[in-house]
Amino acid sequence: MNLTKKSFIKGQWQTTQGQAFSSHNPVSNEPITQFLSATEVDASGAVAGAKASFAAYKSLSGQQRALFLEQIALEIENLGDDLLNTANDETGLGLVRLTGERGRTCNQIRAFANMLKDGFWVRASIDTSDAQRTPPKPDLRRMLRPIGPVLVFPASNFPLAFGVLGGDTASALAAGNPVIIKAHPAHPATSELCMLAAERALKKCGIDSKTISMLQGSTLTLAQSLVVNEAIQAIGFTGSLTAGRSIMDLAATRAIPIPVYAEMGSTNPVFITPDALQARGNEIANGLAGSIAMGTGQFCTSPGVIVTLESDAFKSDLIAAINEANQGYLLHPSIASGLQSSINSLVNNAAVEVLAGGVLDNNSLKTPNSLLATSAQAFLNDDDLHSEAFGPVSLLVTCQNIEELLMVANAIHGNLTATIQCQDNDDLAKPLADILESHVGRLIVNGFPTGVEVCASQQHSGPYPACSSPATTSVGSDAISRFARFIAYQDLPQALLPLELQDDNSLQILRQVNNQYHRDAC
Amino acid sequence: MNLTKKSFIKGQWQTTQGQAFSSHNPVSNEPITQFLSATEVDASGAVAGAKASFAAYKSLSGQQRALFLEQIALEIENLGDDLLNTANDETGLGLVRLTGERGRTCNQIRAFANMLKDGFWVRASIDTSDAQRTPPKPDLRRMLRPIGPVLVFPASNFPLAFGVLGGDTASALAAGNPVIIKAHPAHPATSELCMLAAERALKKCGIDSKTISMLQGSTLTLAQSLVVNEAIQAIGFTGSLTAGRSIMDLAATRAIPIPVYAEMGSTNPVFITPDALQARGNEIANGLAGSIAMGTGQFCTSPGVIVTLESDAFKSDLIAAINEANQGYLLHPSIASGLQSSINSLVNNAAVEVLAGGVLDNNSLKTPNSLLATSAQAFLNDDDLHSEAFGPVSLLVTCQNIEELLMVANAIHGNLTATIQCQDNDDLAKPLADILESHVGRLIVNGFPTGVEVCASQQHSGPYPACSSPATTSVGSDAISRFARFIAYQDLPQALLPLELQDDNSLQILRQVNNQYHRDAC
């Protein structure tokens, strides 16, 4: 397979002159291919191209954008094994997982296409005029409209589903916005292939190829120059708390601040009631170990904290399950060093005991699963124990009694998820649910947090530090609304209104008309 | 009428010990009553009270919260003429306007009550499980839930509709959140009366009186201590760009940043096409003068910029209309000094000509209406000419030709509204609409921007600097969603789910179930 090793800027594959960086094979633990970062000049060109393409792209109908998204999904599939093998070389995630992830990626793109065809997502609302009222009531109509160029920072851990054509890009394009993608430096070849698929879709659909740009790069200055570019209207980010917060802070200093939708750190605590521990302790231990080891622990929703009462049986079951669980590869040496640093900080804490793992291999990215333990009192008194360790490691927090368990529930930071393992008619289920929902985006009962279903009812978000914007979601249908804003039209003639708001409702979409929901004309 | 001159903190009227400030009668231009600011200790107590009341308040059903809101509206009405006279003393807005504003205030509270009874606003969504799928599909259900204590900064210019019980407070309470209100120092007695109405409603409905606190105050330290209080989950603000941006910036520095919904500066440009100018120039001039003078120009949506081609007839019509328009009182000496400073900055600009007014009376808050003029080229080259002058003043921007008019349309900053005055089948209407919608929250054709209808299709927002959060609205039904966030519930037993998400749909609300909208059980 021939790689251009270029960035896609203003509709052209362009050679860039920034700092060199290499992709890396986690299994062999060796570099693969050298790429050159895009420069600030490249970034500026990409954004200018996006800005210039906005008027034409936003004028496409929902149906036209739906066909474009479907073409993108098809072009991703048309990349065939090249895409899977390339992504596997760059991530070590394995072909089974990557095949599944490709399916999810294409499914979520097609789900947005279906939303565009359905049309409800624009939340069209009409209040008709009343000339007899004093004062006369105007005709007001409102819907979500595109916002302009969106900047996307893909994640390291999902090279496809949160990659160049992942959920952020798909939802921003679906909403009618040009997109500038700063590709993740851990998988530049995968990124190039995805951009190639997007370029083919742009051409086949006759859409201005400046609508999507993809910049290769590993430098902070590139990222920063994009964040402060005044034409950028919103930012989607998935990654670490440190990087996410720095983007939030920088965006807040802009002359015109913009929303940053950053999905960041989460420990996804799992609370096990005494009844569940007694009835299903062994089964829960095995489930937890599988969830912790999944994707080598490199899921935003990996269960990093387990909270129970004291139980030697459960502890030994969990140690055994963790030791037996599959060992995978970390994605990149930078993730290995971050994980080692997080584990060291825990292991060097006097209140923490190592039950399994705890030491990484310096010469390999193959990684043991780790289980550490601490007391509820230590957890309550030391914020450091709440930090995410990104990788296959979990902290068992043992409580003396129910009161302590509820105190721990009250003390957890903002998280993507919390899980309750409980029995039927378990007295502790409701108090735990009442407390935990205030801290999370998704509350799970008797499941495990890994595995994020893509559907209308998904909420992949949560109070800070899990996310910068807890009210929005980065997975599921509603991800699209992050990249749109409402506009109201007062007394506009029919011909000046978007199709979705015209009287005849030719698109047959579900609309709110004078506070009633229906698909009728008005 | 006896005033306590206290703040309402943790369910008690408390004497505070902060800096003294006086209410002011704009008509007599004399101080009325001295109040003492709340201190940072008072602020901390109010927030602690709100935090303590959250669990109980959020557990109320939508129906219960609706009854509470209706009781608040009734208690406002029960204040009778005392409220209107007090507000008139403190604002000089006149009893007719204030009677109308009271009606609007109660209507918007009742509109939120109706939304709570209807239940759709929570956007309940259900995706049922599929155990046969590989991997098994979980049951996921999602809805908007309350977020916790909300901080509200009411506006100077609407003592009731954006006051202590105005739209921000009403929408935050409707969504299920306790509220801390930092009353505007321009109308402390009006604020006390409103809090009294709220206290009566709290008691009659058996709701913890710590749920609403109202702090009197004029100090920056009080405001700042509230913004950084870690229990505050969101902020609603209406006021100047300077104050709003400082709140945004301070909130962004918090350990846990929170959303700031700030409605700030707007010049609400009105574009008049050549055809409209020729056909209806005189009528438009009269309409504009009325809109500029309305509320002594102290509306967020006051038309501060008028854009046309050169026309001596229109200019003299507009000067005459401005000179004949009603003269009212500015709300407060601080607003007068702000307006004088804004006008001075314009008048001292070599590119600006004074057509009417331009000088305020130092001894009176009664204020002439001002009309200034400049060229399109000057407007395009000088950002200072885009700044809002809060008061009855407008800047006529004269263009040499259509191209310049469209350039001005492209150059306007973020605004709450833009208006197009055009004729039927006017060639310029569509190009103007296409450009202007990118800059505003509401686009108006052949109307005037003042007068903000409260309904589902209203959007009172716009790109920065009009608002901090262009995707949300501070007027209309959707204002409620600012103060809620989505939570997803995965595989929860029925008894642990909120009523809105339970299978039987006992509330009969419109829900999205497996991507279909209906009111059926599932």
pLDDT, one tens digit for every residue, chain A (522 residues):
789 999 999 999 999 999 999 999 999 999 999 999 999 999 999 999 999 999 999 999 999 999 999 999 999 999 999 999 999 999 999 999 999 999 999 999 999 999 999 999 999 999 999 999 988 999 999 999 999 999 999 999 999 999 999 999 999 999 999 999 999 999 999 999 999 999 999 999 999 999 999 999 999 999 999 999 999 999 999 999 999 999 999 999 999 999 999 999 899 999 999 999 999 999 999 999 999 999 999 999 999 999 999 999 999 999 999 999 999 999 999 999 999 999 999 999 999 999 999 989 889 999 999 999 999 999 999 999 999 999 999 999 999 999 999 999 999 999 999 999 999 999 999 999 999 999 999 999 999 999 899 999 999 999 999 999 999 999 999 999 999 999 999 999 999 999 999 999 999 999 999 999 999 999
Q: Is residue A387 part of a domain?
A: yes
Strands B415-421 and B270-272: parallel
Contact at CB, B414 and A443, closer than 8 angstroms: no
Write out chain B residues lying below 8 Å of A493, CB-based: 424, 429, 445
Contact B140 A414 (CB under 8 A): no
Contacts of B246 (CB under 8 A, 6+ apart): none
User: Do residue A517 and residue B510 have CB atoms under 8 angstroms apart?
Assistant: yes
- Residue B151 sits in the same domain as residue B13: yes
Distance CA B454, CA B473 (A): 11
Distance CA B219, CA B224 (A): 9
Largest CA distance in chain A: 80
Residue in A with minimal Cα distance to B144: A471
CA pair distance A57, A63, nearest whole angstrom: 12
Contact at CB, A490 and B120, closer than 8 angstroms? no
Contact A453 B491 (CB under 8 A): no
C-alpha to C-alpha distance for B180 and B191, rounded to whole angstroms: 13
> For the purposes of burial, counting CB atoms within 10 Å of the CB of A424, is it exposed (0-12), middle (13-18) or buried (19 or more)?
exposed
B248 to chain A: which residues are within 8 Å by CB?
252, 257
Contact A493 B461 (CB under 8 A): no
3-class secondary-structure state, position B381? helix
CATH number at residue B426: 3.40.309.10
Cβ contact, residue pair B486, A459, below 8 Å: yes
Residue B505, min C-alpha distance to chain A (Å): 16
A423 close to A273: Cβ distance less than 8 angstroms: yes
What pLDDT does A1 receive? Answer: 73
Q: Give the whole-angstrom CA distance, residue A147 versus residue A253.
A: 20
With CA atoms as reference, the chain A residue closest to B484 would be: A471
Whether residue A224 is found in the same domain as residue A307: no
The pLDDT score that the predictor gives to residue A134 is 87
Residue of B nearest to A233 (CA): B463
pLDDT at B1 over 80: no
User: Which of A486, A491, A497, A502 best probes binding to B when mutated, by most B CB atoms within 10 angstroms?
Assistant: A486
For residues A296 and A431, state if they share a domain: yes
Cβ–Cβ of B517/A496 closer than 8 Å? no
Number of domains in chain A: 2
Q: From the CB of residue B136, how many other CB atoms can be counted at a distance below 10 Å? A: 11
Same domain, B90 and B235: yes
Q: What is the CATH number of the domain that holds A164?
A: 3.40.605.10
Compute the C-alpha angle A128/A129/A132, nearest 5°: 140
A260 and A278 share a domain? Answer: no
* Number of residues that this document lists for chain A: 522
A185 and A64 fall within a common domain: yes
User: Which of A147, A113, A56, A58 lies closest to A487, judged by CA?
Assistant: A147
- Domain of A46, in residue numbers: 7-264+472-482
Look at residue B509 and tell me if it is in a domain.
no
Within-domain flag for B515: no
Q: Is residue B306 part of a domain?
A: yes
Contacts of B463 in chain A (CB under 8 A): 256
Structure tokens at B492: 């929860």
Whether A457 sits inside 8 A of B259 (CB atoms) is no
Residues of A in contact with B515 (CB under 8 A): 456
Answer whether residue A497 is part of any domain. Answer: no
Most A CBs within 10 Å, among B273, B457, B473, to test the A interface: B457
Residues B288 and B437 in one domain: yes
B62-78 vs B80-91: helix crossing angle, rounded to 10: 70
Span B283-308, pLDDT tens digits: 999 999 999 999 999 999 999 999 99
Mean pLDDT of B495-517: 97
Q: Which phi and psi (to 5°) does residue B210 adopt?
A: -75, -10
Q: Which chain B residue lies closest to A515 (C-alpha atoms)?
A: B456
pLDDT band at B78, cuts 50/70/90? very high
Per-residue model confidence (pLDDT) at position B2? 85
Residue B67 within a domain: yes
Same domain, A253 and A285: no
Q: Is residue B195 part of a domain?
A: yes
Coil vs helix vs strand at B499: helix
**Local confidence band at B106 (pLDDT 50, 70, 90 cut-offs):** very high
Question: How far, in Å, CA of B91 to CA of B84, rounded?
Answer: 10
Asked about A353 being catalytic, the answer comes back as no
A465, B142: Cβ pair inside 8 Å? Answer: no
- Nearest CB partner across the interface for A442, out of B145, B429, B488: B488
- The tokens for A187 are 């998988």
Question: Chain B contacts of A472, Cβ < 8 Å?
Answer: 486
Chain B residues in contact with A141 by the CB 8 A cut-off are 457
B191 & B141 share domain: yes
**What is the identity of the amino acid at B396?**
L
CB A489 within 8 A of CB A501: yes
Query: Do A97 and A48 share a structural domain?
Result: yes
Tokens coding A96: 């089974």
Closest-CA residue of chain B to A444: B490
* A429 CA: distance to closest CA in chain B (Å): 8
Q: How far is A192 from chain B (nearest CA, A)?
A: 30
Q: How far apart are CA A365 and CA A25, in angstroms?
A: 9
Q: How far apart are CA A209 and CA A204, in angstroms?
A: 10
Q: Is the pLDDT of residue B97 over 80?
A: yes
Is the pLDDT at B379 greater than 90, yes or no? Answer: yes
Among A70, A75, A194, A300, the active-site one is A300
Q: What's the first-to-final CA gap in chain B, in angstroms? A: 56
Contacts of B266 (CB under 8 A, 6+ apart): B300, B301, B304, B388, B414, B415, B416, B417, B462, B465, B466
Beta-carbon neighbour count of residue B488 at 10 Å? 32
Pairing, β A179-182 against β A212-215: parallel
Which of A107, A116, A256, A490 is the best mutation test for B, with the most CBs of B within 10 A?
A490
User: If you count residue pairs, one on A and one on B, with CB atoms under 8 Å apart, how many are there?
Assistant: 186
Are B50 and B162 contained in the same domain?
Answer: yes
> Collapsing DSSP states into helix, strand and coil, what is residue B35?
strand
ipTM summary value: 0.97
Mutate to test the interface with B, among A457, A494, A512, A514 (most CBs of B within 10 A): A457
Strand pairing partners for B125?
B142, B512
Rg (C-alpha) for chain A, rounded Å, is 24
E strands present in A376-483: 393-399, 415-421, 440-445
pTM comes to: 0.97
If asked whether residues B242 and B276 sit together in one domain, one would say no
Residue type, A21: F
Residue A430: closest C-alpha in chain B:
B496
Q: In chain A, what residues touch B430 (CB-CB under 8 Å)?
A: 495-496
- Give the pLDDT confidence score for residue B134 in this predicted structure: 87
Closest-CA residue of chain B to A469: B259
Least CB–CB distance from B140: residue in A126, A457, A463: A457
> For A441, which DSSP code?
E
Q: Give B147-169 pLDDT, tens digit per residue.
A: 999 999 999 999 999 999 999 99
Question: Is the pLDDT score of B459 beyond 80?
Answer: yes
Mutate to test the interface with A, among B230, B450, B486 (most CBs of A within 10 A): B486
Does residue B263 have an active-site annotation? yes
Joined together, the tokens standing for residue B182 give 């930092």
CB neighbour list of residue B344: distance below 8 Å, 6 or more residues apart = none
Among B75, B199, B263, B500, the active-site one is B263
In-domain check, residue B104 = yes
Contact A463 B433 (CB under 8 A): no
